Amino acid sequence: MISSILGAAAWIQRRSENVIAALLGIMFVAFIVQIVFRYFFNLPTGWTTELSLLCWLWLVLWGTAFALKEADEIRLDLILTAAGPRARRAMAVIISIAIVVLYGMSLPAVVKYVAFMKVERSSYLNIGLNWLYSIFVIFTVASIARYAWLLWAALRGGTDEDAAPDAGRDP
């Protein structure tokens, strides 16, 4: 059961990296189009900037939710590295509970706000802002699931590395 969950998580992580690559590609093409239109045709385009910002927002939140490994996260871990294994596990439990509870409490408000944004549209692409910001709901749900998984691993006596979806996979 656990191996199938880890396998599914690793598959999701690899597909999320494909999405990130596509978003970077779209951003690059939009950037080149913007340069060509502005400097060769003297026709500034706003939609390329809006598309790049949209891709960047999705790239950061999507990547954090699905592709970022625990070991790759930036942290101030002076206290964590100085602590022993039991203290690190206790800190992982406390942090995981805090994140699951706080994100869980904020989830209804996040969903409500994103749904409310359907009344607004983006300036150039004319896309409903509820669709543009829906990634925040996805990010919140994925973060709750990730930290619930890390909590479960810490309670079992494992480490962050044991709980990683790509554990045991060669880079």
* Extents of the domains making up the chain: 2-163
Coil vs helix vs strand at 120: coil
Each residue's pLDDT tens digit, 4-58: 888 887 888 889 999 999 999 999 999 999 999 999 999 888 899 999 999 999 9
* pLDDT of 167 higher than 60: no
Helix residue ranges, H only, 40-127: 46-62, 78-82, 85-116
Query: What gap in Å lies between CA 20 and CA 62, rounded to an integer?
Result: 8
1 or 66: whose pLDDT is higher? Answer: 66
Which has the closest alpha carbon to 14: 69, 71, 56? 69
Provide the β-strand partners of residue 128: 121
